Amino acid sequence: MLIPVVYFNGQQDMVKDHNLELLIEAGQIFKFKRCNGWVEVASGDLRKPKRGAYFGRERRESVLAELMAK
């Protein structure tokens, strides 16, 4: 999916959706268009980033071990 964007120099472009987050993190995008309108990156009206890796105790292992023991 291509998303309309505007760079800080005013240039407009269409970028692939998976590249949008990278461009925002790199500080290259002024605003981009969602289905409900334009979003300015500096306004902070962005979705929360995806969760990173989980480093806590893996609770599913104990449940799986119990099931396998039966």
pLDDT at res. 63: 54
pLDDT of residue 25: 87
Question: Cα torsion at 34, 49, 20, 29 (round to 10°)?
Answer: 80
Radius of gyration of the chain (CA): 20
Cα distances (Å, whole numbers) of residue 66 to 1, 4, 58: 44, 51, 14
Q: Return the structure tokens found at 22.
A: 């990278």
Report pTM.
0.62
Residue 32: the pLDDT is 94
Cα 2 to Cα 9, 42, 48, 66, distances in angstroms: 20, 21, 20, 47
Mean pLDDT for back-to-back runs of 10 residues, the chain (70 residues): 94 93 91 91 70 62 60
Q: What is the pLDDT of residue 23?
A: 92
Q: So what's the pLDDT on residue 12? A: 97
